[in-house]
Amino acid sequence: KAGVTQTPRYLIKTRGQQVTLSCSPISGHRSVSWYQQTPGQGLQFLFEYFSETQRNKGNFPGRFSGRQFSNSRSEMNVSTLELGDSALYLCASSLDVSAYNEQFFGPGTRLTVL
Amino acid sequence: KNEVEQSPQNLTAQEGEFITINCSYSVGISALHWLQQHPGGGIVSLFMLSSGKKKHGRLIATINIQEKHSSLHITASHPRDSAVYICAVSSYGGSQGNLIFGKGTKLSVKP
């Protein structure tokens, strides 16, 4: 069974641009969560999607948005990029939103904003 | 004060040593996760606990709900165990994706 895939793996953008990151969950998994990891703040929760609906959102500005498609694939978008958005963006999938389900993480997309 | 605190932040051990990493949390939880992150970024879920103790090979995780504390133990440590170990919790009533993370413990095991 294929794992969680994320594309692209690496991305370089300049301030003010926007970026879209993609996450394909494990087949059969309907829940996708996104996280940001920076050296200063560590791992922080961004959003959680289940059945094309955003269930939870972390404490991030409105420049961060996302969506989930009917095949459970998810995208996140960051508009008007800032230097502080440079980070590793990780997505994780699980069967559903139960707190007792294991999450499976993708390899991440490393975003550098210049 | 962070809702999830880990100690130590950094840990260096000799191959074969018994290792303990601690995690304390201040919120009510549904579940606690131990994650492993190798250089390059990939994260692997090691354990998910809501009570008691779990064991996978040389790894043991325990949780004390009353004391709001969990420990991850590695027996007979090996250089391949070198990684960052991260504790994360799903707050009570929350869903599995909405995790609160500790800052991680960087473990280096010397041969």
Res B98: pLDDT: 82
Q: What are phi and psi of B58, to 5 degrees?
A: -85, 0
Q: Which of A38-42, A58-62, A95-99, B44-48 has the weakest average pLDDT?
A: A95-99
- CB contact under 8 Å between B103 and A42, yes or no, is yes
Res A96: pLDDT: 82
Q: What is the DSSP letter of A103?
A: P
CA B91 to chain CA centroid, nearest Å: 16
pLDDT band at B14 (very low <50, low <70, confident <90, very high): very high
pLDDT band at B95 (very low <50, low <70, confident <90, very high): low
- Residues ≥6 apart with Cβ < 8 Å to A62: none
Please identify among residues 28-57 of chain B the ones whose CB lies closer than 8 Å to any CB of chain A: 30-31, 33, 35, 40-45, 48, 50
What is the rounded distance in angstroms from the CA atom of residue A34 to the CA atom of residue A85? Answer: 14
Q: What are phi and psi of A84, to 5 degrees?
A: -70, -10
What is the rounded distance in angstroms from the CA atom of residue A34 to the CA atom of residue A52? Answer: 14
